[in-house]
Amino acid sequence: MWEDLPSSKKNEYKRLILAFASLTEMFAQKVTDNVEEAAPIINSKFQETAFQRAFNAYAEDIGNTSYDASLEHNGEKYLVGIKTFGISSGDQKVAQFKAKHDEWSDIIDEIKRHANDAEDKATVDSLNEVLYMKLARRIAKIRNARIDSSRANIKGFKAGEDDTHVHSVYHVLMPSSRNEDAKIYVGETSYDKINLENLSILGCTGKKNPTNFFFTDGKHVYKYTSADSQLHMNFDNRNIVCDEWNVKYADDAHAIFGKIADMVYPKSPDLDDNSNILEIEDDVEELEVEDTYCWTIWNKNQETELFSGFNSFLAQDPRWEKISVKSE
DNA sequence: AGGCGACGCAGACTTCTTAT
DNA sequence: ATAAGAAGTCTGCGTCGCCT
């Protein structure tokens, strides 16, 4: 998809994303002295709207659909899953099956029991191979059903089941890590149904976690973690890069936010106008005085001085002469 | 050898939407 | 109205490797 999209739109997208990233200083928690060390910030919600705006795409992430956006270009239709994660991060969550947690708990329990007797990871894997496959098939079926229903519900255009001009892709932005040159990598990989015909089990993630395991359909490597019923996918980050943007950090991100504040909440001239403030005050309901207290502030000779500790600053004011004359 | 930081995993939390 | 499910995000903790 990416290489086929018009560069003018890609540039607009890039501009928006880099604008946000340039303000990283304001979001980086741990790098205060040297901003250059920070990893560029991408906000995923911002990314979604920026993408939709730049490419005139339709927002699809309504009602828990699998795809975030859809767009059409030169007769080709794209269903797009949008993600952000660090260039050196690991597997990403792609789906969740909480509703199936109870239904699958028997299988999970059995996997655990097998693992208890096992000496090492290899034994866990071989003892559970069949169960892993059983789960993997169920996971794949549900995942595929969701993708199908999302396709059917696509609002942007009619996507026929056998339409060869419909492509589904993951479009991801991957910020560089800390202490690297600040960059954002654009990545793209296929977002297809899991191929049920070609499933193979790669084994558990570790001897201690027998209920979490890897499997593959030949196209992608998936991982299922039973505790939260989450399906993860390996995006092979470095190998799906199709573009690379250099990020420049703003000299004074703070000031930029200040300007935004001024634009959105302009200092109203009305508020500097006293009469207006009086008007506002008039709107406030008059409070009824229930009790009053007063006390005298006198000096050690029990005399009240013209200037006490509370208003002594007035004595220094050259205007006091005039004021005191007037009041007399 | 020991201390420290980076990293990755697992799982919990948040937000939104839909089902009941 | 309320609960439950889905996706997205955050965080604690263990591990590993590097530096002293």
What domain range is A222 assigned to? 2-246
Residue A149 has pLDDT above 80, yes or no: no
Structural domain includes residue A175: yes
A150 in any annotated domain:
yes
As a rounded value in angstroms, the CA-to-C1' distance for A86 and B2 is 31
More confident residue, A250 or A32: A250
- Assess if residue A263 is contained within a domain: no
**pLDDT of A270:** 52
Neighbouring-strand partners of residue A188: A171
- Strand B closer than 7 A to residue A145 Cβ: no
Q: Decide: CB of A164 under 7 A of nucleic strand C.
A: no
Residue A242: predicted pLDDT: 85
Q: Are strands A166-175 and A76-84 parallel, antiparallel or unpaired?
A: parallel
Any domain includes A232: yes
Cβ-proximal residues to A2 (8 Å cutoff; 6+ apart), any chain: A10, A171, A186, A188, A242, A243
* Total domains, chain A: 1
Say yes or no to pLDDT of A103 above 80.
Answer: no
Distance A235 CA to B1 C1' (A): 39
Q: Which nucleotide, over all strands, has the C1' atom closest to the CA of A88?
A: B7
Which of A91 and A303 is assigned the larger pLDDT? A91
Provide the b/e sequence for A34-66 (b: ≥16 CB within 10 Å). Answer: ebeebbbbbeeeebbebbbebbebbbbbeeebb
pLDDT of the residue at A96: 78
Q: Does residue A325 lie in a domain region?
A: no
Residues A90-129 as b or e (16 or more Cβ within 10 Å = b):
ebbebbebeeeeeebeebbeebeebbeebeebeebbebbe
Average pLDDT for A107-115: 78
- Tell if A206 CB is < 7 Å from nucleic strand B: yes
Question: Quick check: is A320 in a domain?
Answer: no
- Return the structure tokens found at A233: 């996918």
A226 sits within 7 Å of strand C by its CB: no
Top mean-pLDDT range of A73-82, A155-164, A176-185, A287-296? A73-82
Cα gap A67→A69, rounded to integer Å:
6
Question: Is the residue at A269 inside a domain?
Answer: no
Give the tens place of pLDDT for each residue, A219-245. Answer: 888 888 877 778 888 887 777 888 888
The bases of strand C with some atom under 7 A from any protein CB are 4-9
Domain assignment of residue A162, yes or no: yes
- Using CA atoms, how far apart are residues A163 and A146, in angstroms rounded to an integer? 18
A97 touches strand C (CB under 7 A): yes
For range A202-221, the mean pLDDT: 80
Least confident of A113-122, A129-138, A159-168: A159-168
Query: Is A299 or A91 the better-scoring residue by pLDDT?
Result: A91
Task: Round to a whole number and report the distance in Å from the CA of A178 to the C1' of C18.
Answer: 17
CA distance A7 to A57: 15
Q: Considering only CA atoms, which of A102, A51, A55, A60 is closest in space to residue A79?
A: A60
Mean pLDDT of chain A, nearest integer: 72
